[in-house]
Amino acid sequence: MSHLRATDIVPERVQALAAEYNGAEVATSYDDILDSVVDAVAIFTQRWTTGIGCPSPPGR
């Protein structure tokens, strides 16, 4: 991987990720990432936030 760009709806969370991965660039939205030249996109989310019918997280 030659370049890492990240975005999150919580600015503090993406800033922490950028600090953890030295040299990561923070984008203001996923549209900014998709508007650039990219070879791959990875989307990470918690499985219980992806739609109706998904199991609730433990303890809920």
In this prediction, residues 4-16 reach a mean pLDDT of 88
Confidence at 56, pLDDT banded by 50, 70, 90: low
CB 5 within 8 A of CB 21: no
Q: What is the pLDDT of residue 55?
A: 58
User: What is the radius of gyration, based on Cα positions, of the chain?
Assistant: 14
Which string of b and e fits 9-23 if b means at least 16 CB within 10 Å?
Answer: eeeeebeeebeeeee
- Classified as helix, coil or strand, 19 is helix
Could you report the per-residue pLDDT of 37-52, keeping only the tens digit for each?
A: 888 888 877 766 555 5
- The overall average pLDDT reported for the chain is 78
Whole-prediction pTM value? 0.57
Q: What is the pLDDT of residue 52?
A: 59
